[in-house]
Amino acid sequence: MTGSPLRLGVLGAGTIATVDYGILPNLNKIRNKVRVVSIADLVIERARAAAEAFGIPMACASLDELLAGPETDAIVNLTPIPVHGETSIQVLRAGKHLVTEKPLATSMADADRICSLAQAAGLVVVCAPYNMLFPDRLAAYRLVASGAVGKVAFARVRSSHGGPAAGTWPYDPSWFYQKGSGPLFDMGVYGIHEITGILGPARRVVAFAGVTEPSRVVRGGPYRGRTIEVTANDNVLMMLDFGDATFAVVDGTFNVNAGRGPKLEVFGREGTLNLSGAPWAGEGPVLEVFKMDAVNELRGWVTPSLGEVNQRMDWVLGLHRAAMVDHLADCLHYGLDPLLNVDHARHILEIMLAAEESAQSGCAVALETSFSLPTELWWEAGYATTHPEDAGAALASLASVTDAGATATATTPTAHEHGVPKK
Query: Where residue 289 sits, what CATH number does that domain have?
Result: 3.30.360.10
Report yes or no on 307 lying in a domain: yes
Report yes or no on 231 lying in a domain: yes
Q: How many residues does the chain have?
A: 423
Pick from 198, 202, 271: nearest CA to 238? 202
Q: Is 399 within 8 Å of 381 (Cβ atoms)?
A: no
Distance CA 244, CA 337 (A): 29
Residue 420 has pLDDT above 50, yes or no: no
| pLDDT of the residue at 313 | 81
Q: Is 235 within 8 Å of 207 (Cβ atoms)?
A: no
Q: At a CB cut-off of 8 Å and minimum separation 6, what does 52 contact?
A: none
Q: Of the given ranges (127-136, 306-315, 337-346), which has the lowest mean pLDDT?
A: 306-315
**pLDDT average, residue stretch 72-81:** 96
Report yes or no on 324 lying in a domain: no
Distance CA 15, CA 315 (A): 22
Distance CA 208, CA 233 (A): 10
**Mean pLDDT, rounded, of the chain:** 88
Q: pLDDT tens digit string along 267-315? A: 999 999 999 987 676 677 889 999 998 777 789 998 887 766 677 788 8
Write out the residue range of the structural domain in which residue 242 sits: 132-195+212-313
Q: pLDDT tens digit string along 2-41? A: 578 999 999 999 999 999 999 999 999 999 999 999 999 9
* 3-class secondary-structure state, position 187: helix
Q: pLDDT tens digit string along 158-206? A: 999 999 999 998 889 999 999 888 999 999 999 999 999 999 999 999 9
Report yes or no on 31 lying in a domain: no
Report yes or no on 225 lying in a domain: yes
* 3-class secondary-structure state, position 118: helix
Q: Of the given ranges (78-87, 92-101, 281-290, 360-369), which has the lowest mean pLDDT?
A: 281-290
Q: Could you give the C-alpha distances from 399 to 65, 78, 93, 341, in angstroms and in order?
A: 36, 30, 28, 17
Report yes or no on 226 lying in a domain: yes
Q: At a CB cut-off of 8 Å and minimum separation 6, what does 26 contact?
A: 318, 319, 320, 321, 322
Residue 421 has pLDDT above 50, yes or no: no
Helix (H) or strand (E) holding 388: helix 388-398
- Letter for the amino acid at 12? G
pLDDT band at residue 232 under the 50/70/90 scheme = very high
Residue 364 has pLDDT above 90, yes or no: yes
Report yes or no on 351 lying in a domain: no
Residue 239 has pLDDT above 50, yes or no: yes
Could you give the number of structural domains in the chain? Answer: 1
Distance CA 253, CA 33 (A): 37
| pLDDT of the residue at 396 | 58
| pLDDT of the residue at 16 | 94
| pLDDT of the residue at 393 | 57
What residues pair up with 156 in beta bridges, in sequence order?
A: 249, 265
DSSP track, 229-242: E--S--EEEEEEE-
Distance CA 206, CA 240 (A): 7
Say what the pTM is.
0.89
**Number of C-alpha atoms within 13 angstroms, CB side, residue 421?**
6
| pLDDT of the residue at 278 | 72
Pick from 148, 256, 243, 154: nearest CA to 195? 154
| pLDDT of the residue at 263 | 94
Distance CA 13, CA 170 (A): 13
Q: Exposed/middle/buried for 120, CB within 10 Å: 0-12, 13-18, 19+?
A: exposed
Report yes or no on 141 lying in a domain: yes
Distance CA 210, CA 216 (A): 14
Pick from 52, 212, 21, 34: nearest CA to 130? 21
Give the CA angle between residues 382, 387, 391 to the nearest 5°. Answer: 35
| pLDDT of the residue at 419 | 24
Q: Is 352 within 8 Å of 205 (Cβ atoms)?
A: no
Residue 408 has pLDDT above 70, yes or no: no
